[in-house]
């Protein structure tokens, strides 16, 4: 195991009936709030009213910034920054899934800055200060509620880039599994795929093999993501299933799994971000296509590791490592399909002839993330296994 520092400052308030504490928790950071949310889900299911009432009761003045779309856009972030400056906002309250929380983080980063917020995403400038963020999570998927990352799409340059900085950890996140009862089956499955992908990125790219605690933790998280997703699909109001999926997704990307692994990388996300940027594909759906292809591309070097995963997650035994690794990849692909995710580029309506354009887009991110092994040719090779 490698040396590590694990310091996650986000306070998690988990469970039934926790939403009304958002007002009091947010008031710790100021009395003028920007309320960030998505299209219409929180108005439809009544959460918007609950949050507004709680904020008002705690004495906060609220300016609204709704309309965040899935794969959130830079222009909408900039509009939020303008509102923060105009209304002298002190705290950002995000109520939604990863797209909403990421938008809130980008607004929190850009508002106090004397440069355009995109400069932070392209590594041109370093974040020095950010507004505090509180969240009410409504979708189990990204882990944004307990991590320092935000992912935003620049619609002009077709780049979907990430910014990660310790100043962007939410101060407080409220996780009430009941708020996810209304998540449709498609996004329930995409969320589970995303959580699995987050674990897989660490599991597959660790440079230290002697990490038994982390390995078991990660295998357990993958099993739980799958089991809880199936429970939620069978009964969307299964509190036990929703709470297990929610906590699994949070733990999958809050820094814990990566502790002690040394240098790791996010190559599957690097490629998926191009699918989302170019075709507005839902993040988890894009990952369900990329994961089996990428694993197959890595199989010659990583058969033993993939085989171990297959034994732990799918109870695969017997045969050589290479044979079991093949079966593991197929088992993941079949499971993604079973829960309603696309598993090929064709199912996303992306023609094979677009491969080189997608690879060129991904290459920009590969360079920014210093994934030197990923040339245009190698990314195309992965994509050819996603057909
Ligand atoms: O917009 P509304 O009406 O709220 O509907 C949303 C949206 O259509 C709906 N939804 C959310 N909660 C709901 C609900 N519908 C009914 N009931 C509820 N309780 O679900 C749809 C998807 O929401 P979105 O926030 O886009 O999904 P997700 O949480 O999967 O976030 C995806 C975004 O996060 C980024 C992705 O790239 C993508 O842009 N990621 C962020 C990460 C991070 N910050 O750490 C890491 C991830 O790898 C990922 O890249
Ligand atoms: Zn992800």
pLDDT (average), residues 69-95: 98
Q: Which residue is listed with tokens 């078991």?
A: 216
Q: Which of 179, 213, 244 is the last residue of a domain?
A: 179
Tell me which of 41, 145, 196 to substitute to probe ligand 1's pocket, judged by most ligand atoms within 8 Å of the beta carbon.
41
pLDDT (average), residues 48-63: 98
Q: Which long-range CB contacts under 8 A does 200-204 form with residues at least 24 apart?
A: 200/268, 200/291, 201/264, 201/265, 201/266, 201/267, 201/268, 201/269, 202/257, 202/258, 202/261, 202/264, 203/257, 203/305, 203/309, 204/295, 204/298, 204/302, 204/305, 204/306
DSSP string for residues in 30-68: -SEEEEEE-SSHHHHSSHHHHHHHHHHHTT-EEEEE--P
Do the beta carbons of residue 96 and residue 178 sit within 8 Å?
no
Percent of the chain topping pLDDT 70: 100
Ligand with minimal distance to 102 CA: 1
Q: Residue 164 and residue 8: Cα distance in Å, rounded?
A: 13
Q: Residue 158 and residue 175: Cα distance in Å, rounded?
A: 32
Taking alpha carbons only, the member of 306, 65, 124 closest to residue 204 is: 306
Atom of ligand 1 nearest to the CA of 140: 29
Atom of ligand 1 nearest to the CA of 69: 1
Q: Residue 255 and residue 272: Cα distance in Å, rounded?
A: 21
Q: Residue 19 and residue 78: Cα distance in Å, rounded?
A: 28
Residue 22 lies inside a defined structural domain of this protein: yes
CA of 104 to the centre of ligand 1 (A): 13
- Band of the pLDDT at 78, cuts 50, 70, 90? very high
Q: Residue 60 and residue 212: Cα distance in Å, rounded?
A: 47
144's tokens: 């944004």
Backbone torsion region of residue 86, taken as left when φ is above 0, otherwise alpha when ψ lies between -120 and 50, otherwise beta: alpha
Residue-wise pLDDT tens digits, 132-178: 999 999 999 999 999 999 999 999 999 999 999 999 999 999 999 99
Pocket of ligand 1 (CB under 6 A): 38-42, 45, 70-72, 96-100, 102, 138-139, 141-144, 147, 149-151, 179-180, 182-183, 187, 191, 194, 253, 269, 276, 283-284
Residue-wise pLDDT tens digits, 96-132: 999 999 999 999 999 999 999 999 999 999 999 999 9
Residues 155, 38 share a domain: yes
pLDDT at 96: 98
CA of 141 to the centre of ligand 2 (A): 8
Which CATH number characterizes residue 290's domain?
1.20.1090.10
Taking alpha carbons only, the member of 254, 233, 256 closest to residue 245 is: 233
Give me the half-sphere count of Cα atoms (radius 13 Å) on the Cβ side of residue 260.
12
Ligand with minimal distance to 145 CA: 1
Ligand with minimal distance to 148 CA: 1
Residues 126, 106 share a domain: yes
Which CATH number characterizes residue 64's domain?
3.40.50.1970
Write down how long the chain is: 387
CA of 58 to the centre of ligand 2 (A): 34
Find the domain containing 166 and state its range.
11-179
**Number of domains composing the chain:** 2
CA of 357 to the centre of ligand 1 (A): 26
Q: Which residue is listed with tokens 């191009």?
A: 274
Residue 268 lies inside a defined structural domain of this protein: yes
Residue 223 lies inside a defined structural domain of this protein: yes
CA of 359 to the centre of ligand 1 (A): 25
Task: Answer whether 0.95 is exceeded by the pTM.
Answer: yes
């Amino acid at each position: 195991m490698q040396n590590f520092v694990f310091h996650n400052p986000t306070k998690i308030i988990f469970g039934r009936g926790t939403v009304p504490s958002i007002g009091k928790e947010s008031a710790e950071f100021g009395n003028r709030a920007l309320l960030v949310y998505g299209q219409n889900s929180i108005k439809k299911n009544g959460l918007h009213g609950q949050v507004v009432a709680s904020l008002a009761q705690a004495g906060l003045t609220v300016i609204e910034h709704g309309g965040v779309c899935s794969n959130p856009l830079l222009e909408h972030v900039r509009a939020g920054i303008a509102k923060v400056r105009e209304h002298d906002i002190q705290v950002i309250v995000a109520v939604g899934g990863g797209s909403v929380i990421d938008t809130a983080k980008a607004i929190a980063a850009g508002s106090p800055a004397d440069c355009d917020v995109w400069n932070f995403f392209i590594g041109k400038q370093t974040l020095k200060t950010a507004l505090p963020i509180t969240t009410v999570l409504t979708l189990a998927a990204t882990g944004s509620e307990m991590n320092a990352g935000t992912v935003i799409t620049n619609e002009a340059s077709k780049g979907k880039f990430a910014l990660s900085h310790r100043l962007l950890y939410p101060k407080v996140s409220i996780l009430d599994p009941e708020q996810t009862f209304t998540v449709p089956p498609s996004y329930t499955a995409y969320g589970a795929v995303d959580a699995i992908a987050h674990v897989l990125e660490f599991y597959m790219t660790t440079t230290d093999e002697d990490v038994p605690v982390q390995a078991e933790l990660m295998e357990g998280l993958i099993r739980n993501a799958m089991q809880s997703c199936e429970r939620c699909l069978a009964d969307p109001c299964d509190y036990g299933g929703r709470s297990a999926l929610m906590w699994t997704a949070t733990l999958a990307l809050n820094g814990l799994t990566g502790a002690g692994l040394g240098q790791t990388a996010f190559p599957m996300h690097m490629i998926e971000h191009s699918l989302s940027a170019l075709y507005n594909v839902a993040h988890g759906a894009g990952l369900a296509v990329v994961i089996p292809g990428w694993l197959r591309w890595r199989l010659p070097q990583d058969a033993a590791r993939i085989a171990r995963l297959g034994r732990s997650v799918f109870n695969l035994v017997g045969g050589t490592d290479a044979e079991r690794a093949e079966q593991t990849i197929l088992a993941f692909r079949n499971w993604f399909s079973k829960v309603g995710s696309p598993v090929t580029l064709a199912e996303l309506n992306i023609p094979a002839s677009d491969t080189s354009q997608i690879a060129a887009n991904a290459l920009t991110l590969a360079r920014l993330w210093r994934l030197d092994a990923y040339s245009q040719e190698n990314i195309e090779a992965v994509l050819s296994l996603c057909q």
